[in-house]
Homo-oligomer: A and B are copies of this chain.
């Protein structure tokens, strides 16, 4: 029966994160595995009021088909948001998507033929790997360091390979939590111009900065229309809406619209209108400030717990924002093998290997800090640390 399915299905496997999430729903498990925002911070009452306004005033519009590009008033709100982020654009430059995950799928469709090369950070976002795998992409994994992806390495790879685009997460990267410096963003844009590369700039976390100063998006330098900027309301309002957006040149956006027509016609009218109303009637900046304060405290709790409990030989990143922290263990550590043991100790993480499109990273793990309280973080890290110490002792005894 396998012969019935397309070639791409041999490469595509269920996301290990989503499979882990099914296990970690057990209430005893302290999970650092997901990428969930803290549900207790969602602006539920305000969204409820906004939904009631929309359904009482615009009910039939909220329930009817809409245009593929998205609800115009929401796109206007996104234009204002982009201006705050340092990107000047118009309503016609915005496509509303079914979560920013959908942008990855649409970009794959518009740019990728089987065998085409995508440049990514190494490691990179697991679900981006999956989206591009769906179009049978090859991956060229670009080296990164504490300042993010290395522009010279992009240049070198782009000189040898005909890459369709570079996919990059400049702010509080998933999975490492690292931020690409302003100098490197500019250098990356210059490499892209010199090598005629499209840059896909994925920025779901940029508003969640806990320390340091904002860095302008790569898109803010984009005079040539070669950067597609992606973001989402999933982290700043709520992910249940499945509402994100893409900003791109007319040439690229018109093609994204065509493939979105065939993918789902348009994003939920109700969700778009409720979001628009919520953004108009409530102070989302104050809401984001509350999220930032809470997540910042959680990030700090995780860092201090790691410092207090982890055995020697372990290092971790110090994110300036976002939802993830990246731990690197001793070279002989295998976090994929460690995970079942961790689940036995009622603590969960995502093994590092899942984020490396071309292999490696078995000594690493991604820890999420946004959806556990500081107390739970301390308890969870102490469980994890005890396990790591035990595994290290066993390895030393061999």
Contacts and interface: CB of A to CB of B under 8 A. Distances in A.
A64 B42 contact: yes
A97 B68 CA distance: 17
Interface in A261-282: 261-271, 274
B262 A127 contact: yes
Nearest to A249: B1
Interface in A213-247: 234, 237-242
Contacts of A113: 6-8
A121 to B, nearest CB: 18
A133 B60 CA distance: 33
26 contacts: A4-B111, A6-B109, A8-B109, A9-B255, A14-B254, A34-B65, A36-B64, A42-B63, A44-B59, A45-B59, A51-B52, A52-B52, A61-B240, A62-B240, A63-B238, A65-B234, A98-B98, A98-B268, A101-B263, A109-B134, A114-B114, A127-B265, A131-B262, A241-B268, A242-B264, A268-B268
A239 B64 contact: yes
A290 interface: no
How many copies of this protein are present in the complex?
2
Nearest to A65: B239
Contacts of A198: 4
Interface string A158-199: 000000100000000000000000000000000000000010
A240 B42 contact: no
B22 A67 contact: yes
Contacts of A127: 261-262, 265
B63 A264 contact: no
Given A65-B234, A130-B262, A271-B271, 4 more contacts: A6-B109, A34-B65, A42-B59, A48-B59
A13 B255 CA distance: 9
A44 B55 contact: yes
A241 B255 contact: no
B268 A242 contact: yes
Contact of A268 (B6, B130, B271): B271
A210 to B, nearest CB: 22
A362 B99 CA distance: 39
Contacts of A274: 270
Interface in A1-58: 1, 4-9, 12-15, 18, 21-22, 34, 36-37, 39-40, 42, 44-45, 47-48, 51-52, 55-56
A240 B265 contact: no
A1 B197 CA distance: 11
A101 B263 CA distance: 6
A110 interface: yes
Nearest to A243: B268
A131 B265 CA distance: 10
A267 to B, nearest CB: 7
A15 B34 CA distance: 38
Contacts of A52: 48, 51-52
